[in-house]
Amino acid sequence: MIENKTAFLIIILSLFILSNTGYIRGETKSPANDPFSQTKFMPGISFILDFSYVNRNIENEIYEALEIPGIGSIQPHGNEKKGFNFNYGELVLSSSVDPYFDLLAVFHISQEEFEVEEAYASTRRLPFGFKAKFGKFKSGFGRINEQHAHSWNFSDAPLIYRALFGEEGFQELGVQLKWVAPTPFFLSFGVESLQGENESSFGTHGFDLIDIETQDELKIKSTPLPNAWTFFGKTSIDIQNWVILAGVSCVVGKYRSEASENQEITSFNAGNTRIFGIDFTTRYIIDSYRYIVFQAEYLHRKMNGTRYDSTNILEDIPGNVVTPISFYRKQSGGYAQLVYRFQRFWRIGANWDFLCRNREYIESFENINPEKLNRYSFMLDYNPTEFSRIRIQYTIDNASYLDGQRQNYHGFSMQFNLAIGAHGAHAF
């Protein structure tokens, strides 16, 4: 019995490739001469490996316990420990289904798990500039959210994205409809209907509670599905050597969550979430190899509803006994990065991450969590081809806390990112 799912997947995939290329069957006919050859129907297959060496001036146990008050732990899955890290493998299958649909699947592989990151179909022939997508996919919200980690300019996701959407970003089950306007410049609008299960900002499950004062049952219903709606618009113009891309985004939905401490549920939350974002990217093209890119985003989240704090369980009242309290949160932040490709194979860049607002109102009292939190990153990367990258990054983090005290730290990483197979080009 094979217990390792990743190894099992690789074995099955290898057998599939070999069987369809004729090696197992002993075939000698080339695909061009064999009208029944299955290789004509093989999807594009690629694999991406991300591996790194990391060093920090704090121990692993402290790093894993760091958090931001009012938000919680947002430490990334990659570059977790000092020393060597297998950050992830990414297996991509893509192909045209027929003249009407394309299909793409992205599988995320780590040492502990194998999961579907994206798996969706998209249309090819809708009229009037429309295009639809359905399945599990990265939302069109914002700029960096749709990008996979290997195409980022820096090793880590921005603080604000990890705070509002978690380490995996905003990816959901749902449908997307985009429209490209018939204008002389690029102008596109999109809407998404999503399941809304993201634990950081949404959630769908209800609760059965008991009010401590009245001892009445409080049944918090599960959210109607789909639970989240996203709206976005993007535009791009070219002015001589300048390329400018800008966008606005909004997502609204219901909020459900359970907050736990020491494996015991301490509070339940039910309310509404609204997140707004703006993004701006500009690239100045110096020549065929050299360019300068400035990219920035700003996100703002509003949450309001009722928090049900757990109390001491009464022996004669079974169930979750709670005290209802109204809450209202305002949290916002962003990032700004500058990258300069100064030679055919070399790039250098700097990134500023910030959380500028982190306020929570409980009943009529304002609880101001730590604000004006910053993180700075500097990188130098070497790209010998489009299939490989070696990146050195130095990070100064002034945004993390441990037991209510700010815990500043410095970190160094050397990242190796390699790709094989037929991997499509990334969007600008």
Higher per-residue pLDDT: 167 or 38: 167
Indicate the SS3 state at residue 380.
strand
The answer to whether residues 115 and 106 touch, using CB atoms and an 8 Å cutoff, is no
Q: Where are the domains of the chain?
A: 43-421
Q: What are phi and psi of 15, to 5 degrees?
A: -60, -40
Taking alpha carbons only, the member of 414, 383, 351, 398 closest to residue 153 is 351
The answer to whether residues 412 and 391 touch, using CB atoms and an 8 Å cutoff, is no
pTM for the full model?
Answer: 0.88
pLDDT digits (tens, 9 = 90+) for 116-149: 999 999 999 899 999 999 999 999 999 999 999 9
As assigned by CATH, the class of the 43-421 domain is mainly beta
How high is the mean pLDDT of the chain? Answer: 88
Q: The tokens of 196 are what?
A: 């809304």
pLDDT digits (tens, 9 = 90+) for 212-226: 877 788 889 999 999
Which of the residue ranges 102-116, 371-385, 412-426 would you say has the lowest mean pLDDT?
A: 412-426
Amino acid at 121: A
pLDDT digits (tens, 9 = 90+) for 269-326: 999 999 999 999 999 999 999 999 999 999 999 999 999 888 755 555 556 788 889 9
Q: Is 378 exposed, middle or buried (0-12, 13-18, 19+ CB in 10 A)?
A: middle
Confidence category of residue 266, pLDDT binned at 50, 70, 90: confident
Residues 6+ positions from 388 with CB-CB distance below 8 Å = 416, 417, 418, 419
Indicate the SS3 state at residue 216.
coil
Q: Which of 44-48, 75-79, 247-251, 257-261 has the highest mean pLDDT?
A: 247-251
Cα-based distances in Å from 303 to 36, 90, 161, 354: 58, 34, 16, 20
